[in-house]
Amino acid sequence: MEDHKKALEGNSTARGVIKLSFSEKCFAVFNYTFFILMGLTTLLPFVNLIAKSLSSEGAVISGRVGLLPVGLQFDTYWYVLQDSLFLNSLKNSVLLTLVGTACSLTVTTLTAYPLSKYRLRGRKWLLLMFVFTMLFSGGLIPTYLLMQNLNLVNTFPVLFLPAMINVYNMLIIKNYFEGLPDSLEESAKLDGAGNIRILLSVILPLSLPVMATIGLFFAVAFWNDYFAAMIYITDPGLKPMQLYLKELLVSSSGDFLKDNIDAAINTTPQSIQASSILLATIPILLVYPFLQKYFVKGVLVGSVKG
Amino acid sequence: MIKLKRSSILAAVLGFTLALSGCGGGGSTAEQPNEPPTTPEQGQGASGGETAEKPNLRMIMQYGLFDPKTEFAAKYIQERTGYNVEYELLPAEGADEKLNLLVSSKDNYDLVKLNAAQFYNLASAGALEPLDDLIESHGNYIKQSIKQESFGSAMIDGKIYGIPETGAGVSIGEELVVRQDWLDELGLSIPTNTDELYDVLKTIKEKKNVIPLTMSKDSIYGDIATTFGVLTDWKEVDGQLMHRAELPEMVEFITYMNKLYKEGLLDTETPINTAQKSIEKFAGGNAAMYKLAWWNAGTTISALEKNFPEAKTAVVPYLKGKDGKAVVGAKANTTWYISILKSSKNKEATMDFLNAKLEPETFKGIAIGEEGVHHEVKDGKYYPILPKFNDDLNNASSFLTGVDEEKYPIYWQARVRKDPVLQAHFEEFQSNAEGLIVVDPMSTAPPIDAVSKNLLRLTTMLDDNVLQFISGAKPIEDYDKFLAQWRAEGGADMVAAANEWFQSSK
């Protein structure tokens, strides 16, 4: 406590030394208010959602729940945690994120590495082909037909196989690799290392920041993806979390329930919707703080060429 | 160097093979349309040996929040019919696009459960198999259960393209509900016509300072509109069909609502209220009257009573019109159509399966389960046994493929009896409406091109404009201008086509 006070005093004296001009003070005040407001606009919906998920359904329906729960209860969480559709979709999402990220990172790195070498024949041409797919795609129906003829529709791999190479991420890794000094590779070669050995033992250990960043990009993308599943998956047992959530919300909306009495009788209570959303958000929220330091560092390192 | 060169060639070769396999796939789908014509003949040849092994069937269903593999109804159907069916669900959003994708990909689906618009689209695109012969040869239970006029709703150019599922029959969904405790407090009685309604709302506004009447933008007609003679989409006037947009009564209704709106008697947020928002106001004690749907009654009323233990509500009987009579409009449309895809290889078996599901005992089991396990009978009424009924049969309606039109409305009411408040409202709404119901004359119409193409868009256009007229965003004198535009954008064609059918059906 004492130390804390001292530290505070120390701070205030330090602030006293460097005097802020009036305009600087105004700016600081404006800055703080602006960013606090910005922060609140993103934070308050979350708080409201937490409050709703912990409130009794009656209070939620009558719009009495603001930032604090009314009629505290935890049953909704038990209900959601026992719901086999929810658990199954959570399992699918976790699996998709792990497998998808691992595969994508491997394939994207293996593509980026050769393309980062100037001596690769036809490098420009190959790069152009990759960039072309960034700008143009086959369109939804042809892609669907392709997946169908590859027998991938309604299978788990369809959720990550088509997304394994992300050209944008590949270019970031390639740029990072290009920034590493050539002499590293040369000295490894003198020691008798082959291409694979150089990549695994020399290049990759030096590329951890960019790997963590791109890995997080992939992980977040796979976690949040609902579109691929919406298109390719009709088997409810294969649906990932985000699609489940989307359908949970859509199926309780007025448009969907119009003229469908049987669905109207069975609508999901709003407090259960809120707890499902929260339970689905928590896992990825937990990952963020631990990887965020790499996030900032990684992109920066990748963007500045050594 | 050589190694690298080889790898780039490999990449190119890989690219080409991928491209080739893509083309190959396209070719094989193009061939498939030639197959169907041959299969029916084979099927007819084999129809004698029905005891032969039953093929696996694939069915596309509408969206539901469940996994068909684990559903009681799915297992029950398999047990009773002997058919193993693989169910797939359309997504909750973008269902039409997905359906088109699934059907056009010709991926071995046998049957689909469709809404009216989807049914019309697929039938007119030639993706559905005409069922007349199949029903004749395999559909004894189907013919027993479904009325001839219902089949009319599934006919295009004289051929049946789907088995119509009419659902729970004609029932009334919504009625005005009022805070009885406030009426008592202010010495008011329940209004019986629009003049009295106006006085009641005005007194509530003056004395209680709450929203006298809240409404959702999705449900603007109903109790009040009917007193002016605006009932459902279509109305017969002197032997001609008129759409409600064309009725002179529509202007009277708008004028009345506009008066309520201007004087603050109608919720000023009506044009943006969702049902959820209106319920929030009513259950939160901020509104005195709301047109409540019975399926929302359970949660709404219990929330209100929790918030205000002294609160009491009453259902306002349908208001009387100028002639002193009350009427209620209702639709008796076919809700779902069950069709067999032209690309199916098991058409006979599929029809056999659909027929087996309508065998009376099987059908009863799908609808309300087993007596003593899922439901019980009290005074001739079916009551659910909870929680078993909910656990096993909550989603059973999704598995229906046509219903016994006599019995299902009676079975179905077991679903309403899950909650006493909900049941009370359902029953009160229905008994209030008894003898007052006017069924929409287009209910049994088959899909008509000009109607199917325009109805949804024109309905949205009408509703948007009605809300603008009510809220005063547009002056009511402009209604004729709007109507001219409505007619020009397909309204005139739609009405003409509807009348053509109407005259021929007499």
CB contact under 8 A, A62 and B218: no
Report the residue of chain B nearest A144, measured CA to CA: B101
B168 touches chain A (CB under 8 A): yes
Q: Is the pLDDT of residue A255 over 80?
A: no
Q: What is the CATH number of domain B174-330+448-505?
A: 3.40.190.10
Structural domains of chain A, ranges and CATH numbers in brackets: 20-71 (no CATH), 73-302 (1.10.3720.10)
pLDDT of residue A142: 87
CB contact under 8 A, B93 and A246: yes
What pLDDT score was predicted for residue B338?
96
DSSP letter for each residue of A147-207:
HHHTT-TTSGGGGTGGGS--HHHHHHHHHHHHHS-HHHHHHHHHTT--HHHHIIIIIHHHT
Whole-angstrom Cα Rg for chain A: 26
**Of B161, B170, B89, B84, whose CA–CA distance to B120 is shortest?**
B161
Task: Write out the two tokens for A248.
Answer: 């949970």
Is the pTM value of this prediction over 0.95? no
Instruction: Return the HEC string of B194-246.
Output: HHHHHHHHHHHHHHHCCEEEECCCCCCCCHHHHHHCCCCCEEEECCEEEEHHH
Among B65, B101, B306, beta carbon nearest to A85: B65
Whether residue A265 has pLDDT greater than 50:
yes
Contact A254 B397 (CB under 8 A): no
Q: What pLDDT is recorded for position B23? A: 38
Q: Are the beta carbons of A61 and B299 separated by less than 8 Å?
A: yes
pLDDT band of residue A299 (cuts 50, 70, 90) is low
Q: How far is CA B496 from CA B70, B348, B483, B493, in A?
A: 48, 39, 15, 5
Q: Give tens-digit pLDDT for A1-55.
A: 445 555 445 454 445 567 788 888 999 999 999 999 999 999 999 999 999 999 9
Whether A38 contacts A56, CB under 8 Å? no
Domain boundaries, chain B: 57-168+334-402, 174-330+448-505
Tens of pLDDT, residue by residue over A124-166, are 999 999 999 988 888 888 888 899 899 998 899 999 999 888 8
Residue pair B61/B113 in contact (Cβ under 8 Å)? The answer is yes
CA distance, residue B323 to nearest chain A CA (Å): 31
Length of chain B: 506
Instruction: Give the CATH architecture of domain B57-168+334-402.
Output: 3-Layer(aba) Sandwich (3.40)
Is residue A109 over pLDDT 70? yes
Smallest CA–CA distance, residue A30 to chain B, in Å, is 35
Query: B303 vs A61: CB contact, 8 Å cut-off?
Result: yes
- B304: its two tokens: 């209100």
Minimal C-alpha gap between B46 and chain A (Å)? 30
Query: Measured at the alpha carbon of residue A255, what is the angle toward residues A254 and A260, in degrees to the nearest 5?
Result: 85
pLDDT attached to residue A17:
60
Neighboring chain B residues of A56 at a CB cutoff of 8 Å: 306
Q: How far is A34 from chain B (nearest CA, A)?
A: 30
Which residues of chain B lie closer than 8 angstroms to A231, CB-CB? 98, 101
How far is residue A14's CA from residue A7's CA, in Å, rounded to a whole number?
10
Task: Name chain A contacts of B60, Cβ cutoff 8 Å.
Answer: 234
Q: Which residues from chain A sit within 8 angstroms of residue B107, using beta carbons?
A: 148, 153
* A64 with B284: Cβ contact below 8 A: yes
Check residue B15 and give its pLDDT. 42
**Contact call for A119 and B90, based on CB within 8 A:** no
State which residue of chain B sits closest to A64, comparing Cα positions.
B284
B415 vs A: CB within 8 A: yes
Q: Do B91 and A259 touch (CB under 8 A)?
A: no
Query: Which of B8, B173, B216 lies at the smallest CB-CB distance from A121?
Result: B8
Across the interface, of B4, B303, B395, the residue whose CB is closest to A121 is B4
B48: closest CA of chain A, how far (Å): 35
Asked whether the domain spanning B174-330+448-505 has the same topology as the one spanning B57-168+334-402, the reply is: yes
Residue A84 and residue B67: Cβ atoms within 8 Å? yes
Q: Which residues does chain B have within 8 Å of residue A63's beta carbon, measured at their own beta carbons?
A: 280-281, 283-284
Mean pLDDT of chain A: 85
Maximum distance among all alpha carbons in chain B?
99
Q: Which of A122, A254, A265 sits opposite B218 (nearest CB)?
A: A254
Would you write out chain B's pLDDT as a tens digit for each of its 506 residues? 344 444 444 444 444 444 433 333 333 333 333 333 333 333 333 343 445 688 999 999 998 888 898 899 999 999 999 999 999 889 888 888 889 888 887 778 999 999 988 999 999 899 999 999 999 999 999 999 999 888 988 998 889 999 999 888 788 889 999 999 999 999 999 999 999 999 999 999 999 999 999 999 988 998 999 999 999 999 999 999 999 999 999 999 999 999 999 999 999 999 999 888 999 999 999 999 999 999 999 889 999 999 999 999 999 999 999 889 999 999 888 889 999 999 999 999 999 999 999 999 999 999 999 999 999 999 888 999 988 998 899 899 999 999 999 999 999 999 899 889 999 999 999 999 999 999 999 988 888 888 888 988 999 999 999 999 999 999 999 999 999 999 999 999 999 999 999 998 87
Q: How far is CA B94 from CA B11, B99, B126, in A?
A: 37, 9, 21
Residues 6+ apart with CB under 8 A from B409: B168, B169, B171
